[in-house]
Chain A
Amino acid sequence: MENAWLIPLFPLLSFMILLLIGKRLREASAYVGILLTLASLVFSILVLFERFSEPSYLAKFNWLTIGDLHLTAGFEVNQLNALMLFIVSLVSFLVHTYSKGYMHGDERFHIFYAYLGLFTFAMLGLVISPNILQTYIFWELVGVGSFLLIGFYYYKEEAKAAAKKAFIMTRIGDVGLLIGMILLFWQTKSFEYSEIFNAVEAGGVSNTMITLTAILIFIGAVGKSGQFPLHTWLPDAMEGPTPVSALIHAATMVAAGVYLVAALFPLFTASKTALLTVATIGGITAIFAASIGLVQTDIKRVLAYSTVSQLGYMMLALGSAGYVAGVFHLMTHAFFKALLFLAAGSVIHAVHTQNIEEMGGLWKKLKLTAPLFLIGTLAISGVPGLSGFFSKDEILVAAWEGGHPVLFLLALIAAFMTAFYMFRLFFMVFTGEKRGKQKDVHESPSVMTMPMVLLGILAVVAGYVNTPWFGSFLGDWLVDGNPALGHSHIEGPAWIMIAATVVSLAGILLAYLIYGKRSIAPDWLSGKGDMLHTVLNNKYYIDEFYKLTVVAFVTGFSYLLRFIDVFLVEGIVKGVTGIVQGLGRTGSKMQSGQVQTYGAVAFLGLAVLVVIYALTGGYLR
């Protein structure tokens, strides 16, 4: 564990190598990226296994000393960090491998790998940071990586706009995080997680301040994790290459917000209001995004909204004091959502469209992708036996036992919707008649399918580390030696599990009847409630709302500033330059080149000086 600091450095090395000699390596760049992330993965696995038997490890050194203020940097390996290291490096490694096939033939192939390296470095650095300042630095670096990768196809207008949107929207959240961080430092005189928790526990911070800082930090998490109302960047971020969507916008970066709340969990538990806020935002996001997902027709957008919705679940779990449930779902979600995105990428790779209305009947053609996609779909829908079922069940129990019956109900409805739209997606893509023009559809190369197979296996079995039936190994381990994190497993009434199963099966059945068997017309609902469909299709007009309020306000304000800039600031500047230029012009006109004129003027000047000397007697008084 002493060498855990090496883990983020491998991808950084990959980034640097590819930046320097990537152009010469061309497609061989992939091997650099793959091998170095593999090194990270191996180290992460070693660290994870070491952490099973040994206590946490913390190393730090003085970074800056200002007066008697010491800022430290370092790294920490505790249960959460070790788990995150494993998840991030695993998904990153698989995505690196997958991209070799997906990005094949792209002109900026090596740049893509360089960016992936940078992002992986930042994300791994984020999860081993022992203090909130270091976390913040990597937090921003992760944002940069995300920005670069969303805008990878920079010649597409939408991609450019999406990259900017993602950066700006997350920045809004980051301002909250920064203020929260500074307030926390002001109150506790430290950025260290452990010292902050000690100060909070000792009662050195007033309750109002705890609530305020927790909510401000949560705003940062809201921005990064695409929670309502800052979620709109995440679906747009799907303009990036699909492997990027899988890595950043499904498995790792968007989970950073959840990770941050989990890492600062003792701070949140110290304030009832903060917890309630987290849970409410999470619950609203879960059902809100799920309902939009019902009507989207772009395969990646459906997955994007489902990501937003699942992240809402995690927040709901954390807000209901279900630390284990949230982290558990974070892990399982990383696996099955990465699988779904990679499979979606494989489908897009095969049919060259993202519109699910132009797909259909792909089950027979994509012999490997289709079953893997089905596994992912089953897992996210919460069908018993797969990973998503166990983690979602934990969350529902946590919400119920946390005393939020309304949020519990919302989560249950969202689970129904999730099952419905995921299977709608599945049936529309893989079953039925072939629609649109599909030419020479073929299965992806094995370099793309192998990572999917591995993720498929994990999507099935990852849930068994923490089940009500075979013991809550993950939960026990996560909260071991840290009572502030709550119970390892929350006991709940058995009917919750049954209800969750029934709800998800009902969703699947409905999707089957409408899109599989087609015994119910797809517009039976929209036929009755046309308005509802329009509202959902336009994503509740959130983007339009922002355009009319925030954007309009900012534009107006910037016009005012521009006016001041053009007429006031620039006026002064122009005046100054005008005076100087005028002086220069006059001066240069006097430069006639006539030596005799110069001589005359010089002599005249001398004469004047002499006269003055004579009149004043040598001194100017």
Chain B
Amino acid sequence: MSSIPASAFLALALILFCIGLYGALTKRNTVIVLISIELMLNAVNINLVTFSKYGINPSIDGQIFALFAMAVAAAEAAVGLAILMALYRNKKTVHIDEMNEMKN
């Protein structure tokens, strides 16, 4: 186990975050955007766990934070999907670029 260096985990988190960011900023389908946001959150979780194991002061705190983040992410996903459902009923679309009520 210890043969894998911390930088590998961090690189994985970085790649995951960048994929998520790309998806969140470019995809038109709102469901994909929400999934991409989940990806970014999970990248954060990997970072937290990595530092709880290989950090300067390794402790269990980071893993507890990761659990918290998962719970919050689950709740956020539920709320996000509910809002999306309501929006879909009103606008008959899930394309994020058509949801521009806040324009100007």
Contacts and interface: CB of A to CB of B under 8 A. Distances in A.
A557 interface: no
Contact of B100 (A588, A589, A593): A593
A591 B102 CA distance: 8
A64 interface: no
Contacts of B26: 596
Interface string B68-104: 0000000000000000000000000000110111111
A599 interface: yes
A521 B96 CA distance: 103
A3 interface: no
A603 B21 contact: yes
B43 interface: no
Interface in B9-35: 21, 24-26, 33
Contacts of A596: 24-26, 33, 96-97
Contacts of A600: 25
A588 B33 CA distance: 26
Given A595-B96, A595-B99, A588 B21 contact: no
A61 B99 CA distance: 74
B18 to A, nearest CB: 11
Interface in A354-377: none
A594 interface: yes
Contacts of A593: 99-104
Nearest to B26: A596
Contacts of A592: 100, 103
Nearest to A588: B104
A167 B19 CA distance: 81
A607 to B, nearest CB: 11
B104 A589 contact: yes
A589 B104 CA distance: 6
A586 to B, nearest CB: 12
A539 B56 CA distance: 106
Nearest to A591: B104
A37 to B, nearest CB: 66
Nearest to A585: B104
A600 B94 CA distance: 20
A341 B33 CA distance: 92
Interface string A575-610: 000000000000011011111100110010000000
A158 B25 CA distance: 75
Contacts of B102: 591, 593
Contact of A599 (B24, B97, B99, B104): B24
A522 B67 CA distance: 118
Contacts of A591: 102-104
A90 to B, nearest CB: 73
Interface string A208-227: 00000000000000000000
B33 to A, nearest CB: 8
B56 to A, nearest CB: 18
B91 to A, nearest CB: 13
B100 A603 contact: no
A617 B96 CA distance: 39
Contacts of B103: 591-593
A589 to B, nearest CB: 7
A431 B35 CA distance: 110
A595 B100 CA distance: 8
B104 A603 contact: no
B104 to A, nearest CB: 5
A593 B97 CA distance: 8
A231 B76 CA distance: 85
A509 B94 CA distance: 109
Interface string B25-65: 11000000100000000000000000000000000000000
Interface string A483-512: 000000000000000000000000000000
Contacts of A603: 21, 25
Nearest to B101: A593
B104 A594 contact: no
A347 to B, nearest CB: 73
A595 B97 CA distance: 8
B100 to A, nearest CB: 3
Interface in A224-262: none
A556 to B, nearest CB: 49
Nearest to B27: A596
A600 B25 CA distance: 6
Given A588-B104, A589-B104, A594 B25 contact: no
Nearest to B97: A594
Contacts of B97: 594, 596
B31 to A, nearest CB: 14
A594 B100 contact: yes
A596 B21 CA distance: 10
A594 B104 CA distance: 11
A549 to B, nearest CB: 59
Contacts of B99: 593, 595
Nearest to B100: A593
A599 B100 contact: no
Contact of B25 (A588, A589, A599): A599
A383 B64 CA distance: 117
A377 B46 CA distance: 114
B67 to A, nearest CB: 26
A588 B26 CA distance: 23
A596 B99 CA distance: 11
Contacts of B101: 593
B36 to A, nearest CB: 11
15 contacts: A591-B103, A592-B103, A593-B99, A593-B101, A593-B102, A593-B103, A594-B97, A596-B24, A596-B33, A596-B96, A596-B97, A599-B24, A599-B25, A603-B21, A603-B25
Interface of A: 588-589, 591-596, 599-600, 603
Given A595-B99, A596-B96, A603-B21, 8 more contacts: A588-B104, A591-B102, A592-B103, A593-B101, A595-B96, A596-B24, A596-B25, A600-B25
Which 6 A-B residue pairings sit nearest by Cβ, starting from the closest?
A593-B100, A593-B103, A593-B102, A588-B104, A596-B25, A600-B25
